[in-house]
Amino acid sequence: NLDTPKKNIFAGNAGTTMRFITSLASLSAGEVLITGDKRMQQRPISDLLDALKQLGVKSESSNGFPPVKVYGSSFNGGSAKIKGATSSQYLSSIMMCAPYAENDVEITIDGELASKPYVDVTLDVMKNFGVGVKNMGYKKFIINRARYKPTSYKVEGDASNASYFLAAAAVTKGRVKVTNINPDSMQGDIKFADLLGRMGCEVKKGRDFIEVKGSKLKSIDVDMNQMPDIVPTLAVTSVFADSTTVIRNVPNLRVKETDRISALAKELRKIGSNVEEMKDGLKIKRRRLQKAVIETYDDHRMAMSFAVAGLAISGIRIKNPGCVNKSFPQFWKRLEELYK
């Protein structure tokens, strides 16, 4: 068993941390309490807890929201059904810990699984460390008892973070080359470059780079279910396109660091865009672009996306710029380098 931490675990507003640690805590010797900031305590985790309960894990929560108390030494294994629509992280969380359950684990997905590329990344990393998972068409996953083996592993560049610099080229009609990135990565967000290609940009790919040259941007209609994290980047880029861009099938954006659909609609209107907020997405049409003070809602992706707008609209101010530290502490320094 893992050691039981002497203190409560504070996850801030990091959903990935909250979800992954919840399953990991079931492999500890004792009780583990995991909590987060005010927004985290509004983000649902009941689907994960319900699935873990079916596998023998005992836990307590605040009506399906953090804080969560997990009782260790309780991951018996067996069969569980989990809802697929809210977050693929629930599935990844269980799968990564499942090899250490008392028995084999079989997970059935209820409904359509969101963000499949992130599941592919999980499966690939597990395989690299010696644990195979049987994937039956993303409807059922079987994980046998096993042990991870140490290995040498190169961590890829982050495709989500690369998107802001590729978008910078698009909105300024400039040229940006991002290196240390794998164009054939399993990361779903790597396809953002292809979206920019559809919008009229010139896109070049090499073994470890993607280069984008901006041009007059065309609007697109796109299902973003498999790459929800770059919806803010695409939404801001869309403001500079010729007509109406439609972003659809991302209802889970409403339970991210903020309700990203609502937040994007509000802030895009500030910079001069006509925005129709849909239940599962946005319709964005350029109007007359203007300066504005942007609220970030303590959401790193809101800050970085609207920073891109600031490259093409004079007078954009970003509130609470430090929120980028969650995923990209060097962001502002890297962005400044575009001016050199």
From the list 252, 264, 259, the residue with the least C-alpha distance to 305 is 264
Residue whose C-alpha is closest to residue 18's, from 272, 192, 255: 255
Is the N-terminal amide bond of 329 cis, ω within 30° of 0? Answer: no
Given 47, 229, 259, 299, which residue is catalytic?
229
**Beta 317-318 vs 293-294: how paired, if at all?**
parallel
Question: 38 φ, ψ to 5°?
Answer: -60, -45
Specify whether 229 is catalytic: yes
d(CA 300, CA 326) in angstroms, rounded, equals: 7
3-state secondary structure of 143: strand
In whole angstroms, give the CA distance from residue 247 to residue 310: 22
CB 66 within 8 A of CB 17: no
Nearest residue to 226 (alpha-carbon basis) of 263, 191, 182: 191
Question: How far from 140 is each of 57, 82, 114, 135, 188, CA to CA, in Å?
Answer: 20, 10, 14, 6, 21
Q: Please list the active-site residues.
A: 229
